[in-house]
Amino acid sequence: MARRNKLTLNHANIGRVLTSNAMYAALEKKGEQVLQNVKDAAPVRTGRYRDSLHLERALTDRAVVRVVADVDYGLAVEANDAPMAVGLNRSRHA
C-alpha cells in the first residue's frame, strides 16, 4: 500500500516571508518593469500624469507594491487611455 506524506504548513514563517524585505525587493524589481511600461503607454499632454507615476509600498497580510499616479485626474486618464492596463499587460508578456 502506498504511503501518504503529511504536509504541515508553518503559517508564522510563511507570513514572515510574505512581509519580508526580500519579498519587497522582488516585487519592486517587477514593479519597476511595470512602471516603465505604464510610463511608455501614458498619454503626454503636459507630462504631469506620466511624471507623477511612481511605486508605493503597502502592507496588508503580505508585502504590496503598487504603481500610483499622484494627480487628481488619474482615473480619467485611465478611463480614456488605459495606460496602467496597457503597461501591466505588456509586463505580463515580457
Would you state the pLDDT for residue 8? 85
Q: Is 85 inside a domain boundary? A: yes
Give 18-48 pLDDT, tens digit per residue: 999 999 999 999 999 999 999 999 999 999 9
Q: Which of 32, 44, 35 is nearest to 77 (CA)?
A: 44
> Based on the structure, what is the number of domains in the chain?
1
Q: Phi/psi of residue 53, each to 5°? A: -70, 135
Task: Kindly state whether residue 64 falls inside one of the protein's structural domains.
Answer: yes
Q: With respect to residue 33, please indicate whether it lies within any of the assigned structural domains.
A: yes
CA distance 69 to 76: 11
Percent over 90 (pLDDT), the chain: 76
Q: Note down the domain range covering 84.
A: 27-92
3-state helix, strand, coil in the chain (%, to 5): 55, 15, 30
pLDDT of residue 1: 66
Q: pTM for this one?
A: 0.82
31 domain-assigned? yes
Instruction: State the average pLDDT over residues 50-74.
Output: 95
Q: Quick check: 71 and 65 in contact, CB under 8 A?
A: no
Mean pLDDT of 68-80: 95
